[in-house]
């Protein structure tokens, strides 16, 4: 498949490590490996940067001056967008979801301010129902000021952003050969859909026998099967290739949303703490903590014991852990 043009911003390829002690603890289970996409950069760390390399290249090709995007108050995507905008001499407007009268300046929100982003707060209700309308209004107002805005949806999860993890899957296939290991299954958190969608598409077009699974951190399986299908269809508008997408081929491990998006349960935070002590790997509370917790729980229940090697995608999010520090219990 011929992909759209992209920028080169991330530190790639990211390494793959075996989680030796976690694998040993899961007696009779598969070997667990982790791809360190948390190490794609510092200010631009995490999985979003792979998608933004494509999205922001399109923005530059359209002579845009301002990047407009949205997310939760601790959005990794919003922070990465603000950082790249500053790096490239652009401005950024972040539409962030919160229901608090005053937010603590911490984690990604602190970095957003440090990077000089123009931050607009909206309620959860408005975010759910009107975020696209609000971003379009911002774009229209910028136009009146003689500026050209480019809207990036939540998580850069759209047709153009989807190619970030298409490339990531190709990177993984090369690393398999270098490591002399075959991954039977790849698992990633699913919060907006394009991390999963890109790998699913590349996996299908390259006819590999690896299975791609996502663990949803919000919504439910049906929501993400629909969302991922729509993202994939939009991707085909950028290429000459198109395949039939069967939603039943999209594998979502449901049941680990817990209290909701970015709401942490004690068992999830305890898991993050225990893995940090065990492997020296720090997960985040919004995405990777929930997703890895869900994967491990499923293995403990006897699922996936037919797999020899499972690769987990660490999508980043370290900064989002700091606002949760008062909820952590250290032993």
Catalytic residues: 75
Contact residues for 168 (Cβ-Cβ < 8 A; gap 6+): 35, 37, 50, 198, 199, 202, 313
Closest CA to 64 of 177, 148, 126, 142: 148
What residues are paired with 17 via a beta bridge?
Answer: 34
Task: Give me the half-sphere count of Cα atoms (radius 13 Å) on the Cβ side of residue 44.
Answer: 21
In 62-96, which ranges are continuous DSSP H helix?
Answer: 76-87
Are the C-beta atoms of 294 and 271 separated by less than 8 Å? Answer: no
Residue listed under structure tokens 């020296």: 280
The H or E element containing residue 313 is: strand 309-314
Tell me the C-alpha distance between 264 and 169, whole Å: 29
309, two tokens: 């090697």
């Amino acid at each position: 498949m011929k992909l759209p043009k992209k920028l080169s911003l991330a530190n790639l390829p990211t390494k793959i490590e075996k989680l030796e002690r976690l694998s040993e603890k899961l007696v009779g289970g598969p070997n667990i490996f982790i791809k360190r996409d948390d190490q794609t950069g510092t200010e631009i760390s995490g999985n979003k940067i792979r998608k933004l390399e494509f999205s922001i290249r399109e923005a530059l090709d359209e002579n845009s001056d301002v990047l407009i995007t949205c997310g939760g108050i601790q959005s990794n995507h919003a922070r990465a967008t603000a950082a790249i905008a500053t790096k490239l001499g652009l401005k950024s407007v972040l539409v962030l979801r919160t229901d608090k009268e005053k937010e603590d300046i911490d984690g990604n929100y602190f970095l957003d301010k440090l990077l000089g982003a123009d931050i607009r707060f909206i309620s959860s209700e408005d975010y759910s129902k009107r975020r696209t309308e609000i971003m379009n209004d911002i774009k229209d107002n910028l136009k009146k000021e003689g500026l050209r805005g480019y809207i990036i949806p939540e998580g850069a999860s759209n047709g153009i952003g989807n190619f970030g993890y298409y490339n990531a899957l190709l990177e993984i296939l090369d690393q398999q050969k270098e490591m002399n290991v075959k991954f039977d299954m790849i698992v990633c958190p699913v919060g907006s859909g394009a991390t999963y969608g890109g790998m699913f598409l590349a996996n299908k077009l390259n006819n590999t026998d690896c299975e791609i699974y996502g663990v949803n951190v919000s919504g439910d399986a049906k929501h993400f099967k629909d969302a991922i299908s729509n993202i994939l269809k939009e991707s085909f508008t950028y290429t000459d290739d198109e395949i039939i997408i069967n939603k039943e081929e999209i594998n979502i491990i449901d049941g680990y949303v817990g209290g909701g998006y970015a709401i942490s349960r004690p068992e999830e935070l305890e898991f993050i703490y225990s893995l940090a002590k065990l492997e020296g790997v720090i997960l985040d509370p919004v995405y990777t903590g929930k997703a890895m917790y869900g994967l491990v729980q499923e293995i403990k229940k006897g699922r996936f014991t037919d797999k020899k090697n499972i690769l987990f995608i660490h999508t980043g999010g370290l900064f989002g852990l700091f606002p949760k520090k008062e909820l952590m219990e250290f032993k």
